[in-house]
Amino acid sequence: MFSPGLTIVIFLLFLVIITISMGVRIVPQGFKFVVQRLGKYHSTLAPGLNIIIPFMDTVAYKVTTKDIVMDIPSQEVITRDNAVIVTNAVAYINIVSPEKAVYGVEDFRMAIQTLVQTSLRSIIGEMDLDDALSSRDRIKARLKETISDDISDWGITLKTVEIQDINPSDTMQHAMEEQAAAERARRATVTRAEGDKTAAILQADGRLEASRRDAEAKVVLAEADQAAINKVAEASKSGELPLVFLLGQRYVDAMRSMAEANNAKIVVLPADLPAAVRGIMGTLGK
């Protein structure tokens, strides 16, 4: 059994140890402790060894000073042209004033999440679908500019915010796929029509050029025949001899063509060709 005096000494010694332990606070690196004195904010303890007044000061909040990664849930947003897209984001924040973060807002995580979602709906709602899908950097810049000032009142700094996904909804994707297929079909039809048109023009140009060449050839042949007749007439100076010669030549050429035809059987030339030619001339003269 301990004597009453020794019991009191042991009790007092135990009380002193408890009091000292309550007055000493070691704050780990990466954290800050918010201290309240009699229920009112008193100070913020930095990392390391800190002394507080026992039974009067209490550590109310332990706040991290490391960067916090916040995942912003996906949400459906309607663009200016009434298209529905699904988007989400991730925000990187840092608490620079723990007392403002714990006393300035009830739940800073929920507040920042709601603020980012609301700002995203507002920013994308002012854009068309094509702009929204291709302007991540612009959306990111406007989003950061919009919410930085608001959360600074809570002692929080927005390091950066990134748009993770921004895609059309399932219904919109299906509609866009159908639109793209229709556009490809239209382009193919236009391409085929232009090809047919070009081919028809080329064919018409070819026929026109061939007709022009045939006409020019006939003119050349006619001029050649005329020159031949003139030369023969000048050479012979006789009445019917040049004409008999030319008609006989044409007669022989015609007989040769008939003989070379596929359905030709037998071609008989008259024995007295000049007499036959003169007979033709006589017929033409009547």
pLDDT score recorded for residue 232? 61
pLDDT score recorded for residue 240? 56
Q: Domain for residue 179, yes or no?
A: no
pLDDT score recorded for residue 258? 65
Q: Are residues 123 and 37 in the same domain?
A: no
Q: Domain for residue 184, yes or no?
A: no
Domain finish residue from 40, 64, 88: 64
Number of domains in the chain: 4
The model's pLDDT over 19-71, given as tens digits with 9 standing for 90+, comes to 787 888 899 999 999 999 988 999 999 999 998 888 888 899 999 999 999 99
| pLDDT above 90 as % of the chain | 26
CB-CB neighbours of 173 under 10 Å: 13
Residue 228's pLDDT band (boundaries 50, 70, 90)? low
Q: For 191-197, what is the mean pLDDT?
A: 83
Q: Domain for residue 185, yes or no?
A: no
Q: Domain for residue 180, yes or no?
A: no
Residue 135's pLDDT band (boundaries 50, 70, 90)? confident
Q: Domain for residue 155, yes or no?
A: yes
Q: Where are the alpha helices (DSSP H) in the chain?
A: 4-23, 98-103, 108-125, 129-134, 136-152, 170-236, 241-260, 273-285
Q: CB of 127 within 8 A of CB of 143?
A: no
Identity of the residue numbered 187: R
Q: Please state the separation of Cα 181 from the chain's center in Å.
A: 15
Q: Domain for residue 114, yes or no?
A: yes
DSSP 46: P
Domain finish residue from 21, 46, 64: 64
Residue in the block written with tokens 């007669």 = 251
Q: What is d(CA 52, CA 36) in angstroms, rounded to the nearest whole number?
A: 10
pTM of this prediction? Answer: 0.57
* Boundaries of domain holding 47: 4-64
Q: Are residues 42 and 124 in the same domain?
A: no
Q: For 229-255, what is the mean pLDDT?
A: 62
How many residues in the chain?
Answer: 286
Q: Are residues 74 and 164 in the same domain?
A: yes
Q: Are residues 21 and 107 in the same domain?
A: no
Domain finish residue from 146, 173, 200: 173
Q: Are residues 117 and 58 in the same domain?
A: no
Q: What is d(CA 38, CA 99) in angstroms, rounded to the nearest whole number?
A: 16
pLDDT score recorded for residue 286? 46
Q: What is d(CA 158, CA 161) in angstroms, rounded to the nearest whole number?
A: 8
Q: For 170-193, what is the mean pLDDT?
A: 73
Q: Are residues 113 and 207 in the same domain?
A: no
Given a cut of 80, whether residue 256 has pLDDT beyond it is no
Of 105, 112, 117, 109, nearest to 64 by C-alpha is: 109
Q: Domain for residue 224, yes or no?
A: yes
Q: Are residues 54 and 79 in the same domain?
A: no
Residue in the block written with tokens 């929920």 = 110
Q: Domain for residue 78, yes or no?
A: yes
Q: Are residues 89 and 35 in the same domain?
A: no
Q: What is d(CA 98, CA 157) in angstroms, rounded to the nearest whole number?
A: 11
